Amino acid sequence: MMQHKYPRLYSFTKNKNTSVAQFLTNNTLKAQFYLPLSVQALQEYQNLQEYIQTIQVHPDCKDSWQYIWGNNAYTSSRFYNLPYKNVQPPTPFTWIWNSKFCNELIVFSWLLLMEGNNYNCVLHNRNLEETTFHLFFGCPFSQNYWQQPDIHWNLGADFFQMITQAKQQFSSTFFMEIFIIGAWQIWKPRNNFIFDRGCPSLVSWKQIFVEEARLQAHRLCDSKRATFLSSLGLQG
């Protein structure tokens, strides 16, 4: 910790593996550092002296080492989460991870929110380059789909604000689950059109939407499964 807090001063240290207790027993410039110090290192030394005044030394106790997250217990999850502890992602991302759907749909919806791909909207106008946003939200073909589960998009709003508003206006608590399935079933007809020359239709969309909803419902607990299916007008 000290070497990161006072990096310039640390570069002049004679014993780079000294403990805090050892350092405090002989805290002199000549004993601990190669001289002369640079201006920056001297400034850090003065700051260190002020910090030392707040430390209480117990001669009978050994040094205790802690990880940067505040204790001496190491776990891979704590190490992984450390760089991201101050990251505040848009709220819809947390809704994705709270859903119980299979990883394929979760990763797909994450990519959709990231807008990591830019595809042709072949469902609307062939040979015209369109954005992912248009494919899933602005295309008349997809807008007809979203009317079925009664999800309405404010296309003039910021992207994540648009999703948040749609969730607030939605009548069911399973907004994200229905959104994920709906977007997935817009994506599949697109692929079917490209690779198999399928003919997308609202009737076929309703059928595959219901099939996917029933399939993913098995990943929910019994009480939520019944409520989820009921919100779609389906029976368990």
Do 182 and 145 form a contact (C-beta atoms < 8 A)? yes
Q: Quick check: helix, strand or coil at residue 138?
A: helix
Mean pLDDT, range 171-194, rounded to an integer: 86
pLDDT of residue 121: 53
C-beta separation of 117 from 101 below 8 A: no
Give residue 117's pLDDT. 44
Range in 31-40, 42-51, 140-149, 189-198 with the lowest mean pLDDT? 189-198
What is the Cα gyration radius of the chain? 29
Task: Read off the pLDDT of residues 12-39 as tens digits, 9 standing for 90 and up.
Answer: 988 888 877 777 777 788 888 888 889 9
| Res 81 pLDDT > 50 | yes
State yes or no: pLDDT of 231 exceeds 50. Answer: yes
Supply 42's token pair.
């001297």
pLDDT value for 63: 66
pTM: predicted TM-score of the whole model, two decimal places? 0.64
> Tokens 């106790």 label which residue?
61
For residue 216, the one-letter residue type is: Q
